Amino acid sequence: MLPPSVRIFVAVCAVDLRRSFDGLSALVRDVVKEEPLSGHLFVFFGRRGDLVKILWWDRGGYCLFAKRLERGRFKLPRADACGQHVEMESAELSLLLEGIDLAGANRRPRWTPKLPIVTLTPIVSNGLVSAAPS
């Protein structure tokens, strides 16, 4: 599992995976419109759909992970048009790399806590205005 601060961006169109570190980092800037040195994961699939490369910046340099399927193809996530990307969670990426099609998967609604609303009331003291939570 990855920490929640790490985001995963997947390019939805096929990419020439003969590219390595510098070529893929240029694609991150051009296609995904993100900074490749951010520490996030950037996922690219090959034209045939049996090869995936993941680019990640560690504090000391780029890491490049690759997986090739001997049989079958990865089922790429869909987007509205080529040249775009989708963002996914680490659990979804794990399923995708295991060859599971996410098209029919349904996500249950998540619970999000409601934060208390804090309003500030002005306090006037000796002609100075300050704010205090109410």
- CA-to-CA distance for 127 and 105, rounded, in angstroms? 61
- CA-to-CA distance for 2 and 93, rounded, in angstroms? 11
Summarised one tens digit per residue, pLDDT across range 47-101 is: 898 899 999 998 889 999 999 988 888 887 766 556 578 888 888 888 888 877 7
Angle CA 129–132–134, to nearest 5: 135
Domain borders along the chain are 8-104
Note the pLDDT of residue 126.
67
Q: Which residue has the tokens 């939570």?
A: 133
Q: Which amino acid is at 87?
A: E
Summarised one tens digit per residue, pLDDT across range 21-47 is: 999 999 899 888 899 999 999 999 998
Residue-by-residue DSSP string for 14-81: ---TT--HHHHHHHIIIII-S-GGGS-EEEEE-TTSSEEEEEEEETTEEEEEEEE-SSS---PPP-SS
Summarised one tens digit per residue, pLDDT across range 108-123 is: 777 777 877 767 666 6
